[in-house]
Homo-oligomer: A and B are copies of this chain.
């Protein structure tokens, strides 16, 4: 079966490819986990088999990303979209509980600054606006979401430069999305890049919250320790869809019910409260056991076979460099155009381009499939071509894609 798999090169934007050795192991575990005679989906999440899996996943994730003890690692459900709401609800409860002695009348709705660089951060901002609707018509909103920077005028094809930010001096939270999958925009690692996220401009006490869904585990997280919350849906570099990872600074694990009773923050559905997740080691209710199991296998694989986060960074840089330089050359020949012009704003994970000439794109995609190069179609909202280079995409697959791109003009 692995042979059949080897013929395909899967550039899906997510759910995306998983390492073949992991899937082979998971297929066995699905039928008979650890010689129990029972499959992994058929075992209690509170039993002696599953607990080490979730604990091991947490420990390996901590090791891979060097997560300090100041931060908890939690597994939950409902994806990045679930966290558009989750981060706001938990942050508002945290801020309210920090100001517990302030009366409701005197309580100032927190200022939430959003950096909007694409569809996902835009949706996150929209959700913050929804969640701020006053509970009493004409009353005080729960929060004041603002836009600290946006690249909407460019149709989200670049990042703001340092001077484009207008971070509120009274911001309680600053939010960004590390990698926007649709156009392929990603904050650069280099702090000296004009497109780097301006950590230094964020007020010292403001919480930094980041959506790392689509770049998680592809390379180190810049200033991880400075973040209050980092979250990521699993289905890019970590595992199957259905599990979401949270890295949360431990002082944010507050009793949201008590905060809510003070007035001024919305109530948090029990499954969304980070403290409940943490107090129960991510097992408050039945977790998505299979998705966590496969993620645990992936984490072990990344540590043992891929050289940890440094190894992943090296390989992913190589893959991205190879594809972008091929594209830049092809662009100079006039056969295609890169969507993201600013090289330092380009995503390592999602590489987007447009084939020049009517009908040419359809031909390009059809020709690709004949070579086993799959799922290259751009997002339905923008069209074009998108090659996603997540961890499980081998460098050989990128090479084959590059060879194919060169046939456009050679």
Contact = CB atoms under 8 A, between A and B. Distances in A.
Interface of A: 1-2, 4-5, 7-8, 10, 12-18, 20, 23-24, 26-28, 30-32, 35-39, 41-47, 77-82, 84-86, 89, 104, 127, 130-131, 133-137, 139, 233, 235, 239-243, 257, 260-264, 266-267, 269-272, 284-291, 294, 372, 374-375, 380
A5 B79 contact: no
A136 B263 contact: yes
Nearest to A372: B37
Given A15-B286, A38-B5, A44-B375, A269 B267 contact: no
B31 A10 contact: no
17 contacts: A1-B31, A1-B32, A2-B31, A4-B31, A5-B32, A8-B38, A13-B44, A15-B289, A20-B31, A24-B31, A85-B271, A89-B269, A130-B257, A133-B261, A241-B289, A266-B266, A290-B290
Contacts of A262: 137
Given A45-B241, A242-B291, A374-B38, A267 B270 contact: no
Contact of A42 (B16, B46, B78, B271): B16
A290 B27 contact: no
B41 A285 contact: no
Contact of A131 (B7, B18, B84, B267): B267
A22 to B, nearest CB: 10
A32 B23 CA distance: 10
A37 B4 contact: yes
A286 B133 contact: no
Contacts of A290: 240-242, 290-291
Given A42-B16, A241-B289, A263-B136, A82 B130 contact: no
Contacts of A294: 41
A17 B38 contact: yes
B38 A31 contact: no
Contact of A257 (B23, B27, B133, B136): B133
A374 B380 CA distance: 48
Contacts of A45: 15, 241
A273 to B, nearest CB: 10
A133 B266 CA distance: 9
B30 A44 contact: no
Given A37-B372, A42-B12, A133-B260, A288 B288 contact: yes
B133 A136 contact: no
A380 B46 contact: yes
Contacts of A286: 14-15, 79, 233, 235, 241
Given A42-B12, A79-B77, A271-B81, A287 B4 contact: no
A233 B286 CA distance: 9
